[in-house]
Amino acid sequence: MNTPKIMSSLILTISLSCTHLVLASEGRNWDPVASDKLIKLPANIIEKRIQQDFEASPMALHLVELEQHMQDKLSQLKSLGELIADSEGEELINQRFELVQQKSEYLDLMQEAQGLRQNALTKKQNLYETVLGKLRNKNGRISKDEVYQLKQKQAQARERMQNVMAQVDSSLMHKGLDQRSPYADEFALNLAKVEALKNAISEHKANASPTLGDVEVTSEEYVRQLLMQASTEQSLLDQEALMFSYMAKLVALDAQSLEYEISYGDEDTQLTQRNRTKPADVADLFL
Amino acid sequence: MKITLVIATITSLLSTASFANSLFSLENLERERAALLNAQLDSSLDLAQRQQKVQNIYRRLVDIERMVLRDDRVTSSNSALAQNAFNKYELTFLVHSSAEKSQPPMSHWLSEVHLTTKSILSAKAGHR
């Protein structure tokens, strides 16, 4: 029976699987790019666009496949566990061996999925950092821009004008120019319509600022929040990786104990002393 | 595809305004302002003529100053003329800035260029 040899290779596989990177995921990549087109989108749409891009990638599709395989493997493990409860002898050993092997395969799938998730999260973090950097650059560039400065001056001047408009209008009356100009008439007429249109624009959902818990935030703040979420996910994935390594260790120990059991028997089995002829027992024959 | 076309059309509609002379309103304002100062300083006009002329210009200046302040094309041009106009609000928007100080535009202009009755009276005619 070459079961011990298979068991040894199984233990080696499990041990190695804890340390080496999964190469099977090569070619199932996701390469997001922080393009200018992406930066121009509203921050909450940036998040959705990135998620959508990821879900359409070969990496995400492979993750779905892996999840399906893991579910299948899990049901096999459950039914094997039930079978073991009713088995004994050689059949029990075989089923326990099968269980360890299935657990090992499950862990392989789990590790591959874990690796892909880590990879995707790292890429997402890098992407958010690039987006944040570009947003900051854009805002910095705009605030330093000469046109921006000039527009600010115009806005201040407009405010000054608003404060004295009534005064200027009344001075026109004093000067006997009580008839309003066509420009002033048309402007006043259009103003209400313009305000209504502006209100409609500001209330339009496509123009809404991103919100965090019903509070409106800037794009920069929203992306910073996304980075925070990515850190949280990273931390949880690290914890999952730790759980995974403990599970792999347990399967390795199961396999090792099964190997010892097959090779040396059950630990309850008493070591039997071989009958040997003691000199004292035969001494009488020589007397 | 249709949405892209609609967005492209809207964008082109919004950008047609940029083909017009972006400093048109500001140049008009400068002309009217110069005309106001000319009318005030024109010694060939009698009091009634001057008042009539200044009133007409004043009426137009009120509108044109407001037009310039509401015109985004002026600031988008980032020209030296626009920079200068907004750096010197007191002199550019003569009617509205004089109203802030409750002064007639001419008195306001004179005080902004530091011309007082005293300095004019103490001035001597001569060659430089």
Beta-bridged to residue A216, according to DSSP, are A211
Q: What is the pLDDT, as a whole number, of residue A137?
A: 80
Is 60 exceeded by the pLDDT of residue B19? no
The residue written with tokens 């008195």 in the block is B107
- Return the amino acid letter for A186: E
CB–CB of A262/A4 below 8 Å? yes
Q: What is the pLDDT, as a whole number, of residue B84?
A: 93
Helices (H), chain B: 2-15, 24-41, 47-70, 72-77, 80-87, 89-92, 94-100, 105-112, 117-121
Q: What is the pLDDT, as a whole number, of residue A284?
A: 78
Complex ipTM, two decimals?
A: 0.76
- Residues in chain B with CB shorter than 8 Å from the CB of A146 are 78, 83
Mean pLDDT of B55-68: 91
3-state SS, residue A268:
coil
Residues of chain A with pLDDT under 70: 1-27, 142-144, 266-275
Whether A160 sits inside 8 A of B89 (CB atoms) is: yes
List chain A domain ranges: 3-144+231-266, 162-205
Give the pair of three-digit tokens for residue B113. Answer: 């260029």
**Residue A257: in which H helix or E strand, if any?**
helix A219-264
Min Cα–Cα distance to chain A from B101, Å = 10
Residues 51-110 of B with CB under 8 A from A: 55, 58-60, 62-63, 65-67, 69-70, 72, 74-76, 78, 82-83, 86-87, 89, 93, 95-97, 99-100, 102
Beta carbon pairs, A and B, within 8 Å: 71
Is 90 exceeded by the pLDDT of residue B85? yes
Is any Cβ of chain A less than 8 angstroms from the Cβ of B27?
no
Q: What is the pLDDT, as a whole number, of residue B36?
A: 92
> Is A210 or B62 the better-scoring residue by pLDDT?
B62
Q: What is the pLDDT, as a whole number, of residue A269?
A: 58
Whether B100 sits inside 8 A of A161 (CB atoms) is: no
> Quick one: what percent of chain A has pLDDT higher than 90?
18
CB–CB of A168/B99 below 8 Å? yes
Is any Cβ of chain A less than 8 angstroms from the Cβ of B10?
no
Give the pair of three-digit tokens for residue B128. Answer: 């430089």
Min Cα–Cα distance to chain B from A181, Å = 8
Min Cα–Cα distance to chain B from A202, Å = 18
Whether A153 sits inside 8 A of B95 (CB atoms) is: no
- Residues in chain B with CB shorter than 8 Å from the CB of A183 are 63, 66-67
Residue B100 and residue B94: Cα distance in Å, rounded? 10
- Residues in chain A with CB shorter than 8 Å from the CB of B76 are 147, 151
Q: What is the pLDDT, as a whole number, of residue B121?
A: 85
The residue written with tokens 């269980």 in the block is A99
Assessment of whether the complete model's pTM goes beyond 0.95: no
Is any Cβ of chain B less than 8 angstroms from the Cβ of A246?
no
- Residues in chain A with CB shorter than 8 Å from the CB of B75 are 147, 150-151, 153-154
Largest CA distance in chain B: 76
Out of B58, B72, B96, whose CB is closest to A164? B96
Mean pLDDT of B6-18: 48
